[in-house]
A and B are shown apart, each in its own frame.
Chain A
């Protein structure tokens, strides 16, 4: 079977949608040279009317996309750096995402905000290393963060076809991930449907984005001692609460590994919901970033502030102390 990388999956999904639907177009900075490679080859394939090079006017072109979407287009905006999503947070969360509501359903704003390199970048400094997905989920903006190439293909396709604004986070640490895929089987993946990468019975590990791969590695490493179920929500809002509840019904123990900041991060929401509504036989735990910034200028300092496999192993061991029926 051929290999597909995460980055190539983004390129393929966007290209396939642009082929399929003439209302889809892409805009962003350094498009003409396809700087991030997401749109490699697109200028030749689709021409400058559908591959739009913008000036450095993020607020302007984010609102521009809202207008184009109201007029029947399906814009995909590529952002080069996570903080640019903070610069346009208001335009997405308070404008694009509220026009359906405020118009009593007259407007749809089908814009996809594609952030293909989210998270820490070695040496790029504190301003380039954020992972701001929780705030979009908090504001009720549809938000996805797939971990694998096939999921990236499927969820980018769905995001583009969805009639609401959708923020797509592609973790930088996953861009190089490659997967054997049957191209004929690449397909849209519905929003709000998670995926169990490893089945298990002792503990559910909810992992987000690139941390899914760490969670799988840990599950494999601990396989002789403990049966770990790895649950990847894929969509952060709307979240697959049903899928999580089904997993906890079996395991009753929960650990979340989440690259968001700790306060008000998605991990906190997952723990809170599980505690309120789901079966738990042990106090749940989460492994997250601390509150505040990643240093971003020195690998030793940076790694110290991000969730690690060791922390995940410790958290798993902690929850296993509760509820006698563990394997």
Chain B
């Protein structure tokens, strides 16, 4: 692996730091009651979104997951509008109709994060097919967790993408658990074996190092863009926090503190920070704090939606169906 240019190293650090601090500020807002849904924090996994999205062009498309804030920020979504969406404000990327769980932001090429675990794999194949037929050269990335590899629809998506050699990069963020279920009690064989069975070039990489992820993603993106078909990258990573912020209250016992501490030893932010000089780091950190102050203020000060608009956007054609009470 050749060393990336320093500007790239700095920018990888910046993205990881932004995601980390964004998530931490979001958890504060969950505790403060501003984000009613709670969130699925991606703290600990930031190098995956960061490395993968650094390999993409602005026009490329990603499909996110329920643990998606990192994907959005790494792909270039406006952090203020992302946070506003999570907080159910009309200034959000989806006008308070997607929330933290189901974000879309077409302006940044984030098509959606379907709530049905694993089902984005085949949606990605369909987008990729349309792109390939249009010859627009776009690459589609589908992010999912280790839980998704036990979902039949995901394997059907792999089959279609491989059969038709579509420009898709499948990124599995193996963080060791699907909610409380350890991956080794759920997955027979291997995750990369799922891809290999369909003839999809598949690699398992260190998901804590953004430069390792970037190198693997760049190879997969190049293959996709040149007509070489799909790839699968398993990124071995870890979430420091609970599956969802409900774990702040529900103390679930499915992993021990030593395991969490061991993974924290290989923290993606520390790994990348070591590659950036101290002065630059301080400047980036300060910029991010300033930015996030604005982001939080923007989100919290934004208006909540009006109840009379509750049926807007249900249909793309603007169809309004009946209300739940006659003569309301």
> Is A163 an interface position by the 8 A CB rule?
yes
Question: Given A57-B156, A66-B123, A106–B104 Cβ distance below 8 Å?
Answer: yes
Question: Given A60-B122, A95-B116, A71–B131 Cβ distance below 8 Å?
Answer: yes
Question: Given A64-B160, A67-B130, A68-B127, A59–B122 Cβ distance below 8 Å?
Answer: yes
> For the complex, what is the distance from the CA of A140 to the CA of B134, rounded to whole Å?
32
> Is B4 an interface position by the 8 A CB rule?
no
Q: Provide the residues of chain B in CB contact with A163, threshold 8 Å.
A: 315-317
- Output the least CB separation between B193 and chain A (Å): 19
Among the 9-residue stretches B41-49, B89-97, B264-272, B274-282, the one with 4 or more Cβ atoms under 8 Å from chain A is: B89-97
- Output the least CB separation between B126 and chain A (Å): 3
Question: Cβ of A67 and Cβ of B321 under 8 Å apart?
Answer: no
**Residue ID in chain B nearest A99 by CB atoms:** B112
B residues 98-127 in Cβ contact with A at 8 Å: 98, 102, 104-106, 111-112, 114-116, 119-127
Question: Cβ of A70 and Cβ of B316 under 8 Å apart?
Answer: no
> For the complex, what is the distance from the CA of A164 to the CA of B318, rounded to whole Å?
10
Q: Quick one: which of A59, A94, A140 contacts B156, CB cutoff 8 A?
A: A59
Q: Provide the residues of chain A in CB contact with B128, threshold 8 Å.
A: 67
Question: Cβ of A67 and Cβ of B122 under 8 Å apart?
Answer: yes
Q: Quick one: which of B121, B126, B316 contacts A68, CB cutoff 8 A?
A: B126
Interface centre among B104, B128, B129 (most CB of A within 10 A): B129
**Residue ID in chain A nearest B61 by CB atoms:** A71
Question: Cβ of A60 and Cβ of B313 under 8 Å apart?
Answer: no
Question: Cβ of A104 and Cβ of B126 under 8 Å apart?
Answer: no
> Is B314 an interface position by the 8 A CB rule?
yes
Question: Cβ of B94 and Cβ of A64 under 8 Å apart?
Answer: no
Question: Given A64-B129, A104-B96, A140–B321 Cβ distance below 8 Å?
Answer: yes
B residues 284-328 in Cβ contact with A at 8 Å: 312-317, 319, 321-322, 326-327
Q: Provide the residues of chain B in CB contact with A107, threshold 8 Å.
A: 104, 106, 111-112, 316
> For the complex, what is the distance from the CA of A107 to the CA of B97, rounded to whole Å?
12
> Is A254 an interface position by the 8 A CB rule?
no
> For the complex, what is the distance from the CA of A70 to the CA of B312, rounded to whole Å?
19
**Residue ID in chain B nearest A59 by CB atoms:** B153
A residues 287-317 in Cβ contact with B at 8 Å: none
Q: Provide the residues of chain A in CB contact with B96, threshold 8 Å.
A: 104
Question: Cβ of A100 and Cβ of B316 under 8 Å apart?
Answer: yes
> For the complex, what is the distance from the CA of A103 to the CA of B153, rounded to whole Å?
22
Question: Given A59-B152, A59-B156, A238-B319, A104–B313 Cβ distance below 8 Å?
Answer: yes
- Output the least CB separation between B312 and chain A (Å): 7
A residues 24-70 in Cβ contact with B at 8 Å: 49, 54-55, 57, 59-70
> For the complex, what is the distance from the CA of A64 to the CA of B114, rounded to whole Å?
13
Q: Provide the residues of chain A in CB contact with B98, threshold 8 Å.
A: 102-104
- Output the least CB separation between B61 and chain A (Å): 8
> For the complex, what is the distance from the CA of A54 to the CA of B125, rounded to whole Å?
13
**Residue ID in chain B nearest A58 by CB atoms:** B156
| A-B residue pairs in contact (CB < 8 Å), sample of 9 | A57-B160, A61-B122, A75-B126, A95-B119, A105-B97, A105-B312, A106-B94, A106-B106, A241-B322
Q: Which 6 A-B pairs have the closest CB atoms?
A: A67-B126, A60-B156, A104-B95, A71-B130, A63-B122, A108-B316
Other than the given A59-B122, A104-B92, 18 more pairs (CB < 8 A) read A57-B122, A59-B119, A60-B125, A60-B159, A63-B121, A64-B126, A65-B126, A67-B122, A67-B124, A67-B126, A67-B130, A70-B126, A75-B126, A90-B116, A95-B119, A99-B104, A103-B106, A104-B93
